[in-house]
């Protein structure tokens, strides 16, 4: 099955591509919603074009990966409940387009923390990751997390959104 995964930015792409390579998953392609640091995952026109192109290219499943932080930054969805965010995204951005939406608790950077010995994987993830990996650039954080991919995958059940996402792509 061919799967297209639409992500917010380059760091998400780096992490997910490493995950796909590790498991030698075929037919999965990652696409960033915008370009040159221009995040457009909350824009209907951009998402519609990506979905239409993916379908023309034979992708059978399309997954859009968003996080709570992004929807708050865009002030489009007034909720902290993952299910409410998913429904609101489907109603405000997808507008009937056929795609699966996966909402990440806080940010994808929370997934990186699964490789660390910490108790709370949801609180202030981005600042915690920056401190642990001694970097502020999201791409560098993703590259450092990739080095801990085995431990991150081993601890997948400690983060519901990561476990749910892995299930969606067949892992």
What pLDDT score does 77 carry?
67
pLDDT tier at 75 (50, 70, 90 boundaries)? low
> What are the pLDDT digits (tens) for 35-70?
666 678 888 999 999 999 999 999 999 999 988 876
The answer to whether residues 4 and 61 touch, using CB atoms and an 8 Å cutoff, is yes
- The whole-model pTM stands at 0.87
> How buried is residue 23: exposed, middle or buried, by Cβ count under 10 Å (0-12/13-18/19+)?
middle
Q: Is the pLDDT of residue 76 over 70?
A: no
Q: Is the pLDDT of residue 135 over 70?
A: yes
What is d(CA 79, CA 143) in angstroms, rounded to the nearest whole number?
Answer: 31
pLDDT tier at 108 (50, 70, 90 boundaries)? confident
Q: Is the pLDDT of residue 120 over 70?
A: no
Weakest mean pLDDT among 47-51, 52-56, 126-130, 160-164: 126-130
Q: Is the pLDDT of residue 106 over 80?
A: no
What pLDDT score does 62 carry?
96
What pLDDT score does 122 carry?
59
Tell me the three state secondary structure of residue 119: coil
Q: Where are the alpha helices (DSSP H) in 75-155?
A: 82-89, 109-112, 125-133, 138-146, 149-154
Residue 105 phi, psi (nearest 5): -60, 125
What pLDDT score does 127 carry?
78
Average pLDDT, the chain: 86
What is d(CA 74, CA 119) in angstroms, rounded to the nearest whole number?
Answer: 30
Q: Where are the domains of the chain?
A: 3-168
> How buried is residue 11: exposed, middle or buried, by Cβ count under 10 Å (0-12/13-18/19+)?
buried
What pLDDT score does 63 carry?
95
Question: Span 3-168: which CATH code?
Answer: 3.40.50
């Amino acid at each position: 099955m061919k799967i297209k995964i639409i992500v917010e930015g380059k760091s998400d792409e780096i992490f997910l591509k490493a995950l796909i390579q590790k498991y030698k998953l075929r037919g999965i392609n990652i696409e960033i919603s915008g370009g040159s640091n221009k995040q457009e995952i909350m824009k209907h026109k951009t998402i519609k074009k990506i979905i239409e192109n993916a379908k023309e290219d034979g992708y059978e499943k399309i997954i859009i990966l968003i996080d709570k932080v992004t929807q708050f930054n865009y002030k489009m969805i007034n909720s902290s409940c993952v299910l409410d965010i998913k429904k609101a995204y489907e109603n405000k951005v997808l507008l009937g387009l056929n795609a699966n939406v996966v909402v990440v608790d806080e940010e994808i950077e929370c997934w990186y923390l699964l490789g660390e010995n910490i108790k709370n994987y949801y609180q202030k993830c981005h600042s915690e990751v920056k401190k642990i990996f001694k970097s502020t650039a999201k791409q560098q954080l993703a590259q450092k997390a990739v080095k801990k991919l085995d431990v991150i995958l081993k601890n997948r059940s400690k983060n519901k959104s990561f476990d749910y996402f892995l299930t969606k792509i067949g892992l």
